[in-house]
Amino acid sequence: MGLIGLLAAAPTPAQWRSVVTFTLNDGPHIAFLDGNQHLRQIWYNTAYNIWFGQDLTAASNGTPAAAGSALASWIQSDGPHIAYLDTGGHVHQLWYTISTGVWNHQDLSATTNASTAEAGTPLNIFSGPDGDHIFYLDTNQHLDQIWWMNTQWIWQDLMADVSGVHLPSATSGLANFTLDGSIPQIVFIDQVGDLEQRWWQNNQFVQQDLTATVLASPASSSSALASWMQSDGPHIAYLDTGGHVHQLWYTISTGVWNHQDLSATTNASTAEAGTPLNIFSGPDGDHIFYLDTNQHLDQIWWMNTQWIWQDLMADVSGVHLPSATSGLANFTLDGSIPQIVFIDQVGDLEQRWWQNNQFVQQDLTALLVTNFSISGQVTTLGSPLSGVNMMLSGSASGGTTTDANGNYSFTVQYGGTYTVTPSLSGYNFSPASLTFSYLNSNQVANFSGTIPGGPGTQPNAAREFIRFNGQVVVVENGH
């Protein structure tokens, strides 16, 4: 049932078992890599309240990903896109064309003649009025982009003028923010642990050492980065070498960068080395999710006027805890409650969320292979009818016959659409068949059999009905 095998402890971003989410009109979608390095999705159809699964690599005839590849998702006008790396350091995309209902594949590095990506580089996306930008680190530790400009993808080295300690660490995370909605400011960890930002200004790329600007604590060289906007301006979260979660933020009204150790402020549990950082911004505030050293999912949460810390898994143990190498992602069904997605210690995809004043959890991988039953009884004239041929069709096919008590049962899988049809020579059945769409629970399907012209139908004084060997037979004119 596991998705992919366990990796070493204290992962760098390159080793995270990445999970990404995107939302379409039918509901939230979760993408991840399976044990064959195929990109898969599990998605929730809000119209039918059912989860579905699909192998996207197979559907698109795509190239398998490198083990541990980062993933990044975004929406273009044609539909959702997902970027990943192959074993040769090429950046690929799979995308879904909504108008045709088809998944497609493209090697973006080959298309653009791009520099080879560093093994395990993070992938970071910015979508703006000038197109969609995919940022990654190449084998020279330069920050590169593959950029959809007008009608084509192009590649660009964004750091041809930079060398030495101001280049990104080989294990740096990536994040971005924008102050004007059009120009991305890309944030990375440099080779001495300082957070740097780089952006396009006055027809050139410029760079700023944010850690030096605010005299902040250095980041772990393998720290993830996460960015989000609050009302005062952009915020960036990172981890220091002691497992503390920090933030740098820019106050737009004053033009000043600031620093805060959020773990010290909230007395939070120590973060696992190399934990991913995931952000949800909702009406109740901003949530920073991470994994602590007990493999619990924690949050540091801006609630009203202060930051607080919370262990979201105090009631969970064993295999349903996150893997030490799990990625984190989130989605919401109502705009206010985040549903956090991770990979557990046996490789299953799980979601956890707040419901009815408590945290609840669901193993989505296990759910998709859950079996249910369609069963019932067939009767005639109120008595059991044995020997009826019961046919199953739809997502699965099969057949059985009713027993001496008129009972039958089929075992079927979650999410399928199934039709049950009875048949027996000499009988009509009501209903003629029953269909169960997007099945997510056990179902009962009872049928009643009648003989054409028999009791309860068209009277006939010359016709009578007797039961012989458990079957109703017709006697006409004494024969």
Instruction: Please report the pLDDT score of residue 474 as a whole number.
Output: 52
In a domain, 8, yes or no: no
Q: Are residues 360 and 376 in the same domain?
A: no
pTM listed for this prediction: 0.86
Q: Are residues 362 and 381 in the same domain?
A: no
CATH code of 316's domain: 2.120.10.70
Enter the tokens of residue 318: 């064993």
Q: Are residues 286 and 157 in the same domain?
A: yes
417-to-41, 289, 306, 365, 402 alpha-carbon distances in Å: 20, 37, 49, 19, 22
Q: Are residues 286 and 326 in the same domain?
A: yes
* Backbone angles phi and psi of 232, in degrees to 5: -85, -20
In a domain, 69, yes or no: yes
CATH code of 397's domain: 2.60.40.1120
257-301 pLDDT tens trace = 999 999 999 999 999 998 999 999 999 999 999 999 999 999 999
Enter the tokens of residue 432: 């003629």
Query: Are the beta carbons of 361 and 316 closer than 8 angstroms?
Result: yes
Q: Are residues 129 and 205 in the same domain?
A: yes
Which of 367, 390, 421 is where one domain is finished? 367
Q: How many residues does the chain have?
A: 479
342-389 pLDDT tens trace = 999 999 999 999 999 999 999 999 999 999 999 999 999 999 999 999
433-to-192, 427, 430, 442, 452 alpha-carbon distances in Å: 70, 14, 8, 17, 17
Query: Are the beta carbons of 125 and 73 closer than 8 angstroms?
Result: yes
Instruction: Please report the pLDDT score of residue 455 as a whole number.
Output: 59
160-to-208, 251, 285, 313 alpha-carbon distances in Å: 16, 30, 39, 45
93-147 pLDDT tens trace = 999 999 999 999 999 999 999 999 999 899 999 999 999 999 999 999 999 999 9
Q: Are residues 356 and 431 in the same domain?
A: no
In a domain, 6, yes or no: no
Reply yes or no on whether the pLDDT at 154 is more than 50.
yes
The residue ranking higher by pLDDT, 466 or 342, is: 342
Q: Are residues 124 and 256 in the same domain?
A: yes
In a domain, 235, yes or no: yes
- Summary mean pLDDT of the chain: 91
Which of 339, 367, 395 is where one domain is finished? 367
The backbone region for 192, taken as left when phi is positive above 0, alpha when psi lies in -120 to 50, beta otherwise, is alpha
Place of tokens 């059945």: 429
Number of domains forming the structure of the chain: 2
Model confidence at 458, in pLDDT bands (50, 70, 90)?
Answer: very low
In a domain, 470, yes or no: no
In a domain, 467, yes or no: no
Q: Are residues 433 and 339 in the same domain?
A: no
Q: Are residues 115 and 77 in the same domain?
A: yes
Mean predicted confidence (pLDDT) in 308-324 = 94
Residue span of the structural domain in which 428 resides: 371-452
* C-alpha 442: how far from chain center: 26
Which of 318, 348, 367 is where one domain is finished? 367
In a domain, 286, yes or no: yes
Q: Is 265 helix (H, G, I), strand (E, B) or coil?
A: helix
DSSP string over 16-73: -B-EEEEEETTEEEEEEE-TTS-EEEEEEETTTTEEEEEEHHHHHTPPPPPTT---EE
Query: Are the beta carbons of 290 and 277 closer than 8 angstroms?
Result: yes
Q: Are residues 119 and 247 in the same domain?
A: yes
Q: Are residues 446 and 316 in the same domain?
A: no
Instruction: Please report the pLDDT score of residue 17 as a whole number.
Output: 79
Query: Are the beta carbons of 15 and 120 closer than 8 angstroms?
Result: yes
416-445 pLDDT tens trace = 999 999 999 999 999 999 999 999 999 999
Reply yes or no on whether the pLDDT at 223 is more than 50.
yes
| Bridge pairing between strands 371-380 and 443-444 | parallel
Enter the tokens of residue 255: 């033009």
In a domain, 101, yes or no: yes
Q: Are residues 77 and 216 in the same domain?
A: yes
